[in-house]
Amino acid sequence: MKSRTPLMLFALLGLGASLTSSYVHYNLLVDRSFSSFCDVNATVSCTQAYLSPYGSFLGVPVALAGVFFFAIVLALAALSGRKTPQAGESAPAYIFALSTVGLAFTLYLGYASFFILHAVCILCLTTYVAVIAIFIISGGATSVPMTSLPGRAGRDLKTLVSSPAALMVAALLAVGAISFKMVFPKETAAETAAQTPADYPALTDQQKAEVEKWWDVQPKVDVPVPSDGAAVLMVKFNDYQCPPCRQTYEAYGPLLAKWAKTGKFKFVLKHFPLDSECNGAAPGGPHPAACEAAAAVVMAHRKNDGSAEKLEHWLFSHQGPPILTPDEVKTAARDVAGIPDFDAKYASTLIEVKNDAGMGAMLGVKSTPTFFINGHILPGGQDPRLIDAVIDLEMRRAAK
C-alpha cells in the first residue's frame, strides 16, 4: 500500500500532539499553578480550550480521545504492511471510515474553538491537520466499496485473532485505553479539591522558607489601586466565564475571609473580560457574555446591598456547558441582583469595565485569573497554601 508511509507519518504527528495535549490537560487539572507552553496570549491559548466545556466529550477529555484515534490509525496502517492481501486491501477503507467520524468531530471542535471560544489552540490545530490529511489520503487509497466493510469485518476479525502480533497490538490499545481513563483525573474531582484547601497538609517550615526565597525574586510592579492602609493588598483580574477564575473563587474564599478579619488585608476585584467588546487586549475574545457579566457585577456593587456577592456566585456556578449567553446574564442581573434596567445602564457601566481591562493590560495581564499581592504578579491559579504563606509573610514584614 503506497499510502502506508504518509498515513503512518500523519498518525504519528497527531499522536504526538494528542499525547502532549493530554499531558497539558492533565496538569491543568491536578496543578492550578501549571503554566502551559502553548498559552501565548488571551487568544492563542490551550488552557482556554481544554478547560472549556468543549475540552471533554461524555466525560472523556478530547485530547485523550485523540490519542486512541491516532493510535488505532497507526496500528491499522502498520498492520496493512504485512504480507496479507486482505489486510492491505481493507485497511485504507477502515481508516477512511474512522477518519470520516474523526473529521466530523474535528469540524465541530474547530467551530467551537474559532467561533464560540474565539481561541486558537496550537496543539489542537496540529491534530486537525493530521485528521484532515488522514481522511484525504485514506479516501484516495480506498479501493473497496464502503458498503462491503461490514461483511469484511468478520473475515478480518478472524485474521486478527489468528495473528499474535495483531492480538498484542489490540490488547495494548485496550489496556492503554482503560488505564489512561482511570488515571486521568475527573474535572469535577479537581474542582472539589480546589474547594477544600483546608484538607491539604500544612506547609512545613522548610517549604515556607522555600516560598520566601521564591517570593523575593517574583516580578513586582506599581499597581495603581489604593491600599487604604492595609498591610497586604491583593488584586485579582477576573473573567466570569473563565474556569480557573471560578476555581480560585471557590478555593480562596475561606482564605480571603480569614485574612479580612485581621483588618490589615484588602482584596480588590478588577475585571479583565476575554471579549474584545470591552477589552482591547483580548482580540476576538473566547467568552461571549464576559463583558455583560462584569458590567452586571459592577451595577450590583453600586447597590451596596449584598446582591453583588449573590450574582458572582450565580455567574460562576452557571459557566456551562452550555456556555453562558448575554441574555442569560441580563436575566440573572434582574432576578438575582434586582437590576431591572440593565440595558439602560450598560454603556455607561462598561466604561468602568474597560478601565479595569486597560489597567490590566498596562500591568502585563495576559490571562485570567492574574493576581497581584503587594505588587508581585501571580498568573494563574496557585495552591491556596502558597497564597496563605505569601500573605502571612507580607503581614510579618509589614509588622516589623
Question: Per residue in 209-242, pLDDT tens?
Answer: 999 999 999 889 999 999 999 999 999 999 999 8
Picking from 296, 299, 287, the residue whose alpha carbon sits closest to that of residue 330 is 296
Stronger pLDDT, 26 or 184, i.e. the higher one: 26
* HSE of 132, CA atoms in CB hemisphere, 13 A: 9
Q: What average pLDDT does the chain have?
A: 83
Q: What is the mean pLDDT of residues 346-362?
A: 96
Bin 263: left if φ > 0, else alpha if -120 < ψ < 50, else beta.
left
For the chain, give the number of residues.
400
Per-residue model confidence (pLDDT) at position 31: 59
Using 50, 70 and 90 to split pLDDT, how confident is the model at 157? low
* CATH architecture for residues 4-185: Up-down Bundle (1.20)
What is the model's pTM?
0.56
Q: Kindly list the domain boundaries of the chain, sorted by start residue.
A: 4-185, 195-399
**What does the block give as the cell for 265?**
488585608
Listed range (39-43, 88-92, 93-97, 292-296) with the worst mean pLDDT = 39-43
Q: What is the mean pLDDT of residues 86-114?
A: 84
Using 50, 70 and 90 to split pLDDT, how confident is the model at 189? very low
CATH topology for the 195-399 domain: Glutaredoxin (3.40.30)
Round to whole Å and give the CA distance between 400 and 395. 9
Stronger pLDDT, 113 or 137, i.e. the higher one: 137
Round to whole Å and give the CA distance between 295 and 349. 6
Q: Do domains 4-185 and 195-399 have the same CATH topology?
A: no
β-strand pairing of 265-271 with 232-238: parallel
Percentage of residues in the chain with pLDDT exceeding 70?
78
**What does the block give as the cell for 96?**
477512511
Query: Is a pLDDT exceeding 60 seen at residue 52?
Result: yes
Listed range (86-95, 246-255, 268-277) with the worst mean pLDDT = 86-95
Using 50, 70 and 90 to split pLDDT, how confident is the model at 203? confident
3-state secondary structure of 278: coil
